[in-house]
């Protein structure tokens, strides 16, 4: 199973058909760079809750030509309403000032709907499901991905976009560890201090649930003061409610430690076959504020959600030092997993910024994809030296941005003690820094600035933009 090409562009093998992998595929499609996406899962299972999409992604979608599709599938959002467990209002935060600064508003989109739009950007014959990676090897200026069932795929570049427990990362790190070249920190397990239950209801009757009739997305979150939980919901353009419950653990742990506890305890429901149902049962009576004067609880939403679409995930948090080696690079959760709660045991602001921890993870993964695509576009040749050079530039550009978000999320627990307002302000600064507002594609026509603040332009975009304009001028002169 190989790619045939008549161009001199590098053949890129993308492992993982998540949002980051699909974004990279969509960008390479625009570039006419040959690529293939290999996904371990046999089918697409559209799980998840909702995502907030705003200034960090909308300019990219404009360049890709899918801005209208995204907005049409989304609901405009202006405020986040925060309540305590007694459903007393604590804060109504207005996010419209960000629209003035950037020229872009915030929209709430159901993650499954978002995924469907991104999947359509890649021709179906270039996405291969049921392809489990067993090994990766390099020889004669080529890299080969070895799959289950004795299949192999050969290319020039492999990009691991296969999530927090990445097979590409595991194989890469095994090779480096054998050579004694893997940093000690990269050998440690992924820690997490929060778990999260997510889902989306079926389409609701607007007469029974008036909240879905509002043309503005209703984002409501509740702080658990007497319990280590926060929970909330968002209304969508499809007349559904996307919901999330975050459980903050008493201390950090790892997937390996949790699984070991499960093996040692026959009665453990913390992890295993039915962890989502266990968490549903535990949180069923948690109250909700839907604005219709009816007594509602999370259990009402659970009952309105197809059971197969309810999932429980761990919110890991770690930034790896090693992002590439040879002809293999990592992106997204495979090299940096961000948890916006920052370990704060009463965090609620993360409900806005990362329902299901997907906002920050998805944004950083997509920004990784843009940087990689810009650099692949402007790469002189597909030799190992030039590939190594662009990987180095890629990490040098992206690592500081990722570390800023990671370090600020760790600081969250200290700042939130000063009050709700300061916590929200910190979140705005953390996840929408000025220098990330303009993350653009250098090889597509530029779009004008729309806000009142002139944003920073990344090095990869500048490089790709210069190459793009040189080509355009050359074509014009001919």
Burial of residue 293, with CB atoms counted within 10 A of its CB: 0-12 exposed, 13-18 middle, 19 or more buried: exposed
Instruction: Determine which helix (DSSP H) or strand (DSSP E) holds 387, and give its type and residue range.
Output: helix 384-415
Residue 135 contacts residue 123 (beta carbons within 8 Å): no
Q: Tell me, what's the pLDDT at 13?
A: 98
> DSSP code of 10?
P
Q: Tell me, what's the pLDDT at 176?
A: 96
Q: Tell me, what's the pLDDT at 475?
A: 55
Residue 470: band (very low, low, confident or very high) from pLDDT cuts 50, 70, 90: confident
CA trace torsion 397, 369, 391, 427 (10° rounding)? 30
Asked whether residue 269 carries a pLDDT value surpassing 60, the answer given is no
Q: Taking residues 226-247, what's their average pLDDT?
A: 91
Of 226 and 89, which is predicted with more confidence?
Answer: 89
Q: Tell me, what's the pLDDT at 69?
A: 97
> DSSP code of 300?
H
Residue 463 contacts residue 397 (beta carbons within 8 Å): no
Which pLDDT tens digit goes with each residue over 356-366?
333 567 788 99
Position of tokens 């795929």?
Answer: 153
**Cα-based angle 425, 440, 235 (whole degrees, multiple of 5):** 50
Q: Tell me, what's the pLDDT at 355?
A: 37
- Alpha-carbon distance 223 to 236, whole Å? 22
222: its two tokens: 């509740």
Flag the least confident range among 78-82, 132-136, 394-398, 424-428: 424-428
- Alpha-carbon distance 27 to 21, whole Å? 10
Of 218 and 472, which is predicted with more confidence?
Answer: 218
Asked whether residue 458 carries a pLDDT value surpassing 60, the answer given is yes
Map 95-134 to HEC letters.
CHHHHHHHCCCEEEEEHHHHHHHHHCCCCHHHEEECCCEE
Which pLDDT tens digit goes with each residue over 33-71?
999 999 999 887 666 788 888 888 898 999 999 999 999
- Alpha-carbon distance 371 to 85, whole Å? 43
Q: Taking residues 93-119, what's their average pLDDT?
A: 87
How many Cβ atoms sit within 10 Å of the Cβ of residue 32?
9
Of 16, 38, 327, give the one whose Cα is nearest residue 157. Answer: 327
- Alpha-carbon distance 135 to 418, whole Å? 49
Residue 305: band (very low, low, confident or very high) from pLDDT cuts 50, 70, 90: very high
Q: What letters, b where the CB count within 10 A reaches 16 and e where it falls short, cover 124-150?
A: eeebbeebebeebeeeeeebbbebeee
* DSSP strand pairing (12-15 vs 35-39): parallel
**Reduced to 3 states, what is the DSSP secondary structure of residue 355?**
helix
Q: What letters, b where the CB count within 10 A reaches 16 and e where it falls short, cover 66-92?
A: bbebbbebbbebebbbbbeeeeeeebe
* DSSP strand pairing (157-160 vs 79-83): unpaired
Which domains, and CATH codes, for the chain?
Answer: 12-46+122-188+317-477 (3.50.50.60)
Q: What is the mean pLDDT of the chain?
A: 82
Which pLDDT tens digit goes with each residue over 362-406?
788 999 999 999 999 999 999 999 999 999 999 999 998 888 777
Burial of residue 196, with CB atoms counted within 10 A of its CB: 0-12 exposed, 13-18 middle, 19 or more buried: buried
């Amino acid at each position: 199973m190989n790619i045939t090409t008549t161009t001199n562009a590098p053949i890129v093998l993308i492992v993982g058909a998540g949002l980051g992998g699909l974004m990279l595929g969509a960008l390479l499609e625009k570039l006419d760079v040959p690529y293939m996406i290999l996904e371990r899962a046999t089918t697409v299972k559209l799980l998840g809750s909702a995502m907030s999409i705003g200034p960090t992604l909308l300019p990219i979608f404009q360049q890709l030509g899918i801005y209208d599709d995204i907005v049409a599938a989304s609901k405009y959002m202006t405020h986040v309403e925060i309540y305590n467990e007694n459903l007393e209002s604590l804060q109504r935060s207005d996010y419209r000032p960000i629209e003035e600064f950037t020229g872009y508003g915030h929209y709430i989109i159901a993650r499954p709907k978002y995924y469907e739009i991104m999947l359509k950007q890649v021709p179906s014959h270039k996405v291969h499901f049921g392809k489990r990676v067993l090994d990766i090897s390099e020889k004669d200026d080529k890299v080969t991905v070895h799959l289950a069932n004795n299949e192999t795929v050969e290319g020039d570049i492999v990009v691991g976009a296969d999530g927090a427990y990445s097979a590409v990362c595991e194989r890469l790190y095994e090779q480096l560890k054998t050579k004694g070249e893997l940093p000690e920190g990269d050998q440690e397990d992924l820690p997490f201090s929060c778990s999260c239950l997510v889902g989306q209801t079926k389409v609701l009757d607007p007469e029974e649930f008036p909240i879905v009739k509002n043309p503005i997305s209703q984002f409501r979150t509740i702080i658990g003061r007497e319990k280590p939980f926060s929970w909330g919901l968002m209304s969508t353009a499809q007349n559904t409610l996307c919901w999330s419950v975050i459980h903050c653990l008493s201390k950090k742990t790892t997937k390996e430690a949790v699984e070991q506890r499960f093996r040692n305890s026959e009665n453990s429901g913390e992890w295993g076959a039915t962890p989502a149902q266990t968490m549903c049962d535990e949180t069923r009576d948690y109250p909700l504020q839907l604005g219709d004067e009816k007594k509602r609880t999370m259990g009402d939403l659970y009952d309105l959600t197809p059971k197969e679409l309810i999932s429980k995930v761990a919110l890991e948090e770690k930034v790896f030092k090693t992002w590439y080696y040879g002809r293999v690079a990592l992106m997204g959760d495979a090299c940096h997993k961000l948890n916006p709660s920052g370990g704060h045991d009463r965090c609620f602001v993360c409900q806005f910024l990362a329902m299901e921890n997907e906002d920050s993870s998805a944004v950083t993964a997509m920004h990784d994809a843009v940087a990689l695509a810009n650099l692949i576009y402007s790469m002189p040749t597909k030799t190992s030296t030039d590939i190594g050079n662009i990987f180095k530039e890629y990490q040098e550009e992206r690592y500081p941005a990722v570390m800023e978000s990671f370090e600020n999320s760790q600081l969250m627990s200290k700042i939130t003690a000063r009050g709700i307002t300061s916590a929200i302000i910190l979140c705005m600064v953390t996840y929408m820094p000025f220098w990330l507002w303009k993350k653009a594609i250098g090889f597509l026509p530029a779009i004008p600035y729309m806000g009142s603040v002139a944003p920073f332009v990344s090095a990869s975009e500048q490089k790709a933009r210069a190459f793009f304009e040189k080509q355009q001028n050359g074509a014009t002169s001919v």
